[in-house]
Each structure stands twice: as C-alpha cells, then as structure tokens.
Amino acid sequence: MAENQGVNGQVTDAVTQTNLSVLGEAPAQAMGSLYQVTTHANGLSMQNSVSNQQNLNQLNATIVADAIKILKG
C-alpha cells in the first residue's frame, strides 16, 4: 500500500487556480459558442431565402411566358 504523503502546497495552489480559471471562463465560452451557432443559423436562413427567391424568379419567367402564349392564342 502507498504511504500517505503530503502534497506540496504549490501543487495544490496550481490545481486550485486552474480549476477556478476553467470555471471562470466557462460562461464566456458558452456565450461565444451560442453567438457562433446563432450567427451560423441566421446565415443559413439568409442563404435559403436567396435560393428560394432565385427559384421563384425562374418560375415567374415561365409563368409570364405561358400567360403570353395564352393571350396570343
């Protein structure tokens, strides 16, 4: 069995400071991730809107051409 040895106080302090640093930075990192995900979702939404608008513009040209054919005919 291992003997019960004391831990250097500097090691304990270093581990404690690291833990506090991680806990202190976690909210900021979470908000940063939230902002990135939200921005990405908004970007995808805009891309979908542009794609839909382009598709509708192509359909409009076809509909107008068919309407002109009907009026001439």
- What pLDDT was estimated at residue 13? 87
The per-residue pLDDT for 5 is: 72
Q: Three-state SS string across the chain, please?
A: CCCCCCCCHHHHHHHHHHHHHHHHHHHHHHHHHHHHHHHHHHHHHHHHHHHHHHHHHHHHHHHHHHHHHHHHC
pTM of the model: 0.59
Per residue in 1-52, pLDDT tens?
456 777 788 888 888 898 888 888 899 999 999 999 999 999 999 999 999 9
Model confidence pLDDT, tens digit, residues 54-69: 999 999 999 999 999 9
